[in-house]
Amino acid sequence: MAAPIGNVVIPGDSFSLMQLKTPDEHKKILLGPGLKEEDTEIKVLRPGILRYRKPGVYWVDCHHKRYVPSKGDSVVGIVNQKVGDMFRVDIGSSEQASLSYLSFEGATKRNRPDVKVGDIVYAKLLVANKDMEPEIVCIDSYGRSSGMGVVRNGGFLFHTSLNLARKLLNPQCVLLKSLGNRFQFEISVGVNGRVWVKAGNDIQTIALVNTVIASEFKDNDQIKEMCKRISKAVSRMEVD
Amino acid sequence: MAAKQSAHLSKNVLQMKFMQRSVLRMEKEQNEEERQKIIDDEHWALDLQEYKTKESDFLENQSYTTCEELLFGRQSYQGFNPEIEKLMKVHSEEKEAQKSEQKEKEESVGDAEMAQRYSSLMGIIAKKFTKKRQRSEEKSNQNEDDEPSRKKFMKPSE
């Protein structure tokens, strides 16, 4: 019996190595969230749908609202506190993440970045350990910002489920592209379920937020249809 | 007891000729004690079976970002934020380059295969430049050497 790809798995389920498709003799299988290697078996830790991607990536797709930090994730956080050289940033995890003032592009000891309490930052997780405080940075390994840093100039931040945030960033999802064909806007999606949207005016921003929230359980065709309807409605409102 | 006694003996007494034997004995005892004190590396090694660390067949990566190949989270449309739009372009180009590179890797001929093909090709071309007589000589030589093996068409390996 092969591993039940695309089916529901429950914590405690286990498969042996034989049940998994191996990509190659020399390549390793990548176990994503919800799966753990134990002895010679693979145990399921979360209830959800078992997913597989070539070449040899397995993970469990399940509904989340609480963000669990993992290394390399891009998140949207809110600066809550300034403690000495660090900022405490709320990224939705059980503990606040720390962000050093030196981990901004062009920041030096003398030249501090302009970050205030209440600012929204787009950052990457550098340290994500279950026993330690997560640490985020706003630069890549070359010291460039590459799109990270403080997100300024208004806009609207809202919280979604983690699934929706991932759906928005999935290459197969058409929502942002079809909205982009109709509206002029900017969006920052963190995999921690925080989404920041800014459009030309308030009507558009509200419409975009509602569209994003409504798209959680819609497929691509329904999303296209909805985008068409929304853009019509918005253009009518703007005329009035 | 001897060690305790000798502790009281003075240096001068020990230097006397009749004491030489006991001095040697004392030295020997002392050396043995010191040797016991010096702990060799084996002392620290537990006498257990060798702990086997088998290399795992799995890489545990707890991030959805890599599993689902998620896009970069900041996006801008219709020139709302040109900076971000530039970044998006770079990201998509990078991804395309990666894809084409992978495709090329899959389709191209490997080094080993290339070498094998060339070596077989060399034989064929070399034959072309030998004269007829040489060829027939070679053939007769071969016939003498071993049983005549008919050359078969070699199926080109993919």
- pLDDT for A82 equals 93
Q: How confident is the prediction for chain B on average, in pLDDT? A: 78
Q: B76 vs A187: CB contact, 8 Å cut-off?
A: yes
Query: Read out DSSP for A25-48?
Result: SSPPEEE-TTEEEETTEEEE-S-E
Residues A142 and A185 in one domain: no
**Residue B129 contacts A where some CB pair is shorter than 8 Å:** no
Residues A173 and A231 in one domain: yes
Q: Three-state SS for B108?
A: coil
How does pLDDT run across A50-67, given as a tens digit for each residue? 988 877 788 899 888 899
Which alpha helices (DSSP H) does A174-219 contain, by range?
175-182, 202-214
Q: B68 vs A28: CB contact, 8 Å cut-off?
A: no
* Measured distance CA(A49)–CA(A153) in Å, rounded: 39
- pLDDT for A208 equals 93
Question: Mean per-residue pLDDT for B82-99?
Answer: 89
- Number of independent structural domains in chain B: 2
Strand pairing class (A14-16; A41-44): antiparallel
Nearest CA in chain B to A188: B74
Residue of B68, B78, B84 to mutate when probing chain A, most A C-beta within 10 A: B68
Q: How confident is the prediction for chain A on average, in pLDDT? A: 89
Q: Is the pLDDT of residue A186 over 70?
A: yes
Is the distance from CB of A149 to CB of A121 less than 8 angstroms?
yes
Q: A185 vs B77: CB contact, 8 Å cut-off?
A: yes
- pLDDT for B13 equals 84
Q: Is the pLDDT of residue A187 over 90?
A: yes
A85 Cβ neighbours under 8 A, 6+ residues apart:
A100, A101, A102
Residues A162 and A220 in one domain: yes
Closest in A29, A187, A191 to B64, CB measured: A191
Residue A168 resides in a domain = yes
The three-point CA angle A78-A143-B61 to 5° equals 70
- pLDDT for A160 equals 94
The boundaries of the domain holding residue A210 are 156-239
* Measured distance CA(B51)–CA(B58) in Å, rounded: 20
Q: Is the pLDDT of residue A144 over 90?
A: no
Q: Three-state SS for B82?
A: helix
Q: Three-state SS for A49?
A: strand
Q: A187 vs B87: CB contact, 8 Å cut-off?
A: no
Helix A202-214 to helix A220-239 angle (10° resolution) is 160
> Which residues pair with residue A238 across a beta bridge?
none
Q: Three-state SS for A198?
A: strand
Q: Is the pLDDT of residue B40 over 80?
A: no
- Number of independent structural domains in chain A: 3
Q: A191 vs B77: CB contact, 8 Å cut-off?
A: no
Amino acid at A125: L
Residue A136 resides in a domain = yes
**Contacts across the A-B interface (CB distance below 8 Å):** 125
Residues A163 and A229 in one domain: yes
Question: Mean per-residue pLDDT for A91-99?
Answer: 93
The boundaries of the domain holding residue B9 are 2-33
Question: Mean per-residue pLDDT for B82-108?
Answer: 86
Q: Give me the percent of chain B exceeding a pLDDT of 70.
A: 76
**Residue A200 contacts B where some CB pair is shorter than 8 Å:** yes
